[in-house]
Every structure is written in C-alpha cells, then in structure tokens.
Amino acid sequence: MPSICSLRGNHYYVGFTEFISYGFIQRALLAGTLIAVLCAVLGVFLVLRRLSLIGDGLAHVTFGSVAIALYLRINPVYVTVAAIPLVLLSSLGILKLTDKARIYGDAAIGTVSSLGIACGILLASAAGGFNVDLFSYLFGSILSISSTELVISVGLFGVVMLVVALFYNDLFAITFDEELAKSSGIKTERINAVLVLLTALTVVLAMKVVGIMLISALLILPAVSALQISRGFRTTIAVAAGFAVFSVVSGIFGSFVLNLPTGGAIVIINIFLFILAFALKSLKGVKGEG
Amino acid sequence: MQVDLLNVEGLCFGYNSMEVLNDISFGVKAGDYLGIVGPNGSGKSTLVRALLGLVQPGRGSITLFGASQAYFAEWQKIGYLPQRLKFFNPNFPGTVEEVVRLGLLAGKKFPKTRTKGDDEAVERTLALMGISEIGRRLIGELSGGQQQRVLLARAMVSEPELLILDEPTTALDPETREHFYGLVRDLNREKNTTVLLVTHDTWSIGKYATRFLYLDKKVIFDGTFDEFCRSPEMTGFFGEHAQHQICHRH
C-alpha cells in the first residue's frame, strides 16, 4: 500500500498530473470528497440544532467499536462496516437517554461517549495493546484507503444522501423549531432518529479521512463557516459542502506536497476558511453600518 | 346541527403534583372568534399545547374536526402561532419564503416534495400579510413584529380552517399589535377562519372576539363579552371594579 511515508524522498518532484494519476490519490480524493459532502450537509442541521458535539461522542463510540473489531481480529478492510451497528445503536442510545432519563443532550452524549472510550481502552489493554492500525483510526489515513473501502464509502454516501433528500423538508422543519414542527403533525422523534442515525454512519465513514479525534471538526467547521456568509438554507448547505470539499482536496494535496498528516491538514484548512468567512462577514457588517 | 371544529371534554392536566387544568370543557364552532383570557399560571398556554398534542392530558378528551386528537392527521386544517419559538436559533439561515413554506408540510404525503403550487401559495400569503418585499430576507434579520407576521403567514399559508394564536402580540409595539389584530379579524370575517386567541389583553378580546372564555385552571366564564359584562356572577367573582375595568377598556 503506498503511503505518504514511502513518497517522502521524492514528493517535491511530483507534478499535479502525476499526483492525480496515483491510484491511492484518486481513491483518497473520491472518498474524501464524498465524505466531506456528507459531513457538511449533516453538519448544518447538527450545528443549528446545537447538537454539534454528537459527532465527537459518536467518534468516541467508534473508537470502542474499532477496538472490538481489532480484538476480534476482523479484516482491517471491514473494520468500518463492523463498527457501524454499534455506533448506530449508540446514536439511538443518546436519544433514548435524553428522552427517557430526562437528561440534557450534552450529558447523554458525554455518557455514551465515555462508555465507548472506556470499552476501547479496556479491550486494548486486554489484547496487550494493538499495532499501528488503531493509531491510523485515531488520526485518519485517507491515503491508505482501499478499493473495497472506497466502494463502501460510495454506497453509504448514496444511502445517506438519498435519506437526507427524502426527509429534507422535515429535517428543515425540526431545525427551524422542533415544537412548531411537532404542532404541524411532524413525527419529530422519528426525524431526530433519522438525523442521528445518518450522523452515526457518516462518523464511521469520516474516521478514515480525519481520524476519530478530528471527526467533529469536519462536521462543525464547514457548517459554521458557511453560516457566516450564506443567505438561505439550501445555499448554506451548498456553501458548507463547497468548503468541506475544498478543505479535503487541498488537505490531501497539501499534506502530500508538504509531507504532513492529512487529517490535521484538513482541519487546519477548515479553520482558515472559517477565519476567512468570519472576516468577510465582519467586513460586510462594517460596510453595512457605514 | 353544526359540528364543533374543536371540542374539549373534562380535560385535566398537572405537572408533578401541581394542578394546571381542572375539568375544562368547551367547544368551538366554524367561524367563531374565541378569546381565552386568564391570569398568569391559569393554564392558557398548557391548554393550547394540549390541543396541539404537545403535552398529553391526564384525563379528558380533545376532538379536532370530529376526530380524537390522538388520531388526528389533518394538521393542515390548523394554523398555530406561538407566543415565541422555543428552539429558534437567531442564526438560522432560512429565508422568509422558506419559513412560510414550512406551513405547507402538514398537508403533504411522504416525501413531501415542493410543487409550483406551493410557491404560488407562499407568494399569495406573503402578499396577504403585506410582507412580499421581505420574502428573500433571512428570518433572523427581522424585527420582532416582522418575525411574528412571517409566523402568522406560515400558519396561514395552508389556508387553515382553525387558527390558534397563543399570546401572539406580547413582543409587539401598540401600532403593530393593532395592525396584527386587524389582519386576524379580516381573516375571521372575510375568509370565515375560526380563531382561538389566547391573550392577557382583555381589550383585544372585547374589541375583536365573538366569544370569551375566562380561564383560571378551570373555566370561570364562557359566553359573549357583553354577557360577561352583564353577568352578576362575574361581578361577584371579580368584584364590580375589576369587571368594570375589563369591560370598559374598549
């Protein structure tokens, strides 16, 4: 499997055409773009509903799920798929805890998230420590994405985007005001479940792009950047997707050229985009006042 | 015989051990303009929330358009305007048109796709409310009065038969408030929209409502405003001075 490390000696001599001719780069760009779009689309709903940290919580659960998969010696290619059921269940667990135990969403996220991390640590300890695989899940390894993982990403991208499209109006309604949506006969509990399940799927996919530690950044930052400058809900989603794709593509390219970790590079680019969007908004505000 | 659009029978509700509503019964007929007034904590907003299924009553029944509230599905027949939005995020990036279009979701079947007719209905309602010029603006950028008109437009866009307004003018200045009540009166008189208005403002009730329901955890009075003002029982309940103040503010 080619990696950034194996290219360390000659990366300055690789032109753009050659860069995109590598199979691993093509796979990384395609999977990264699809996952970036998913994170941006769901991120807008989550940020506006003050559920931003659910990505972080589910990422921690993903850590526990990955630890279980590695402990059971599941083929690394299928670790993503193996993690899905537990993360989906945990996302519903967060909703149930909020609803039935009458605790606030952030406390429910914290509870489930701690459970995920604790299970991961216990399993890692029981197995006498894992090899470098776990590290790649924690910090991402998009350049090592396999063809099988790409196929899984394309399939899940299709599923998530189809469900978002089908439930778009209801998701928009609960994002505007959940109680008003409920008074219109919308089954808000069902739509909330759809949103967290889609987020769970996306978090598992995004693990490969930026790693468990930075997933929430890919969910939050494109959305908050887009919210600085966008007018209209659909426009916000489109701008967030644009920011996310730009950050992932330039992050892959930049990390390749500068020999940096891709996940970290993607997040730093997102931070710059946010600063840029915020400055643009502030500039507009100053002009408007003037 | 005219069937009630809304019928409440023996409704009781409490939070923990605190009684909020006790044996509430009343009906609303098509074309009525019912004003519900009462002091703070009298259960007015809880009653509205129970009508809309936002809280489940402990006892009693609610019938909407002849169907039990639990099985009622034709929510497009009801337009609801809350006192304030409970979960509204001021940074919400939706435009006025997008928010008003939300009012059309109740009448749609899955996957609730947008039609050309929806755009026409939104355009028509914005014109009716006199807010066509702000259709492309973001809801979070508007003043309290403008936001309230947008939410009324959202409640009206599906041309509901019953409009439920829960203290809709609390945040409005007197001029905007008067204009708002004028709009609702016109909807009631010209489109025969049934109105259920919850308010502190007895002046508005006296001026616009055709029926008056005084609530204080239970129904104290149900009748016309004139009946209320002439009722010796209400004089006994409120005292002559208070009744005079309520009745002669309009």
| Candidate from A166, A176, A235 with C-beta closest to B102 | A176
- Mean pLDDT on A223-248: 96
**CB neighbourhood size of A284 (10 A):** 12
Q: What is the pLDDT of residues B154-202, one digit of tens each?
A: 999 999 999 999 988 877 778 878 888 888 899 899 989 999 999 877 7
Q: What is the pLDDT of residues A8-43, one digit of tens each?
A: 444 455 677 888 899 999 999 999 999 999 999 999
Q: Which residues in chain A touch residue B92, judged by CB atoms under 8 angstroms apart?
A: 48, 175-176, 233
Which of B92, B137, B138 to probe the A interface (max A CBs under 10 A)?
B92
Q: Under an 8 Å CB criterion, which residues of B touch A?
A: 52-54, 72-73, 75, 80, 82, 85-89, 91-95, 98-99, 102-103, 105-106, 108, 110-112, 114, 136, 138
Residue A166 has pLDDT above 80, yes or no: yes
Instruction: Look at B233 and A10; give whichever has higher pLDDT.
Output: B233
Instruction: Look at B100 and A212; give whichever has higher pLDDT.
Output: B100
Q: How far is A174 from chain B (nearest CA, A)?
A: 9
Q: What is the pLDDT of residues A249-266, one digit of tens each?
A: 999 999 988 989 999 999
Residue B90 has pLDDT above 80, yes or no: yes
3-state DSSP percent of chain B in helix, strand and coil, to 5: 40, 25, 35
Q: Which residue of B has its CA nearest to A231?
A: B93
| Candidate from A170, A180, A232 with C-beta closest to B85 | A180
Q: Which residue of B has its CA nearest to A174?
A: B87
| Candidate from B87, B95, B105 with C-beta closest to A169 | B105
- Mean pLDDT on A177-190: 93
- What does the pLDDT read at residue B1? 55
- Tell me if B221 sits within 8 A of B228, measured CB to CB: yes
Contact between chains at A231 and B94 (C-beta distance less than 8 A): no
Residue listed under structure tokens 């799927």: A201
Q: How confident is residue B21, by pLDDT bands cut at 50, 70 and 90?
A: very high
Q: How far is A186 from chain B (nearest CA, A)?
A: 7
Q: How confident is residue A267, by pLDDT bands cut at 50, 70 and 90?
A: very high
Q: How confident is residue A138, by pLDDT bands cut at 50, 70 and 90?
A: confident
- What does the pLDDT read at residue A124? 82
Q: What percent of chain A has pLDDT over 70?
A: 92
Q: Which residue of A has its CA nearest to B71?
A: A185
Chains A and B: how many Cβ contacts under 8 Å?
Answer: 87
Angle at A244 between CA A242 and CA A247, to 5 degrees: 105
Q: Which residue of A has its CA nearest to B85?
A: A177
- What does the pLDDT read at residue B2? 64
Name the most confidently modeled range: A48-57, A216-225, B162-171.
Answer: A216-225
| Candidate from A179, A185, A231 with C-beta closest to B138 | A231
Q: How confident is residue A4, by pLDDT bands cut at 50, 70 and 90?
A: very low
| C-alpha A31: how far from chain center | 12
| Candidate from A177, A179, A233 with C-beta closest to B93 | A233
Q: Which residues in chain B touch residue A175, judged by CB atoms under 8 angstroms apart?
A: 92
Contact between chains at B91 and A48 (C-beta distance less than 8 A): yes
Nearest CA to A112 out of A90, A141, A136, A80 is that of A90
Domains present along chain A, CATH in parentheses:
5-289 (1.10.3470.10)
Contact between chains at B112 and A48 (C-beta distance less than 8 A): no
Q: How far is B55 from chain A (nearest CA, A)?
A: 11
Which of B104, B112, B136 to probe the A interface (max A CBs under 10 A)?
B112
- What does the pLDDT read at residue A9? 45
How far apart CA B63 and CA B70 sit, in angstroms, is: 9
Residue B167 CA neighbour count, 13 Å, CB half = 18
Q: What is the pLDDT of residues B45-60, one digit of tens each?
A: 999 999 999 999 989 9
Q: How far is A110 from chain B (nearest CA, A)?
A: 22
Q: How far is B110 from chain A (nearest CA, A)?
A: 8
How far apart CA A12 and CA A257 sit, in angstroms, is: 6
- Mean pLDDT on A149-174: 95
- What does the pLDDT read at residue A2? 44
- Cα A241 to Cα A279, B27, B179: the distances in Å are 20, 51, 42
Instruction: Flag whether the ipTM exceeds 0.85.
Output: yes
Name the most confidently modeled range: A10-19, A279-288, B144-153.
Answer: B144-153
User: Backbone phi, then psi, for B162, in 5-degree steps?
Assistant: -125, 125
Residue B7 has pLDDT above 70, yes or no: yes
Q: How confident is residue A3, by pLDDT bands cut at 50, 70 and 90?
A: very low
Using DSSP's 3-state secondary structure scheme, residue A127 falls into coil
Q: What is the pLDDT of residues B204-218, one digit of tens each?
A: 777 888 898 999 999
Q: Under an 8 Å CB criterion, which residues of A touch B?
A: 48-50, 165-167, 169-170, 172-173, 175-186, 227, 230-233, 235-236
Residue A242 has pLDDT above 80, yes or no: yes
Q: What is the pLDDT of residues A108-134, one digit of tens each?
A: 999 999 999 999 889 888 877 666 577
Mean of all residue pLDDT scores within chain B: 89
Contact between chains at A50 and B82 (C-beta distance less than 8 A): no
Domains present along chain B, CATH in parentheses:
6-94+160-247 (3.40.50.300)
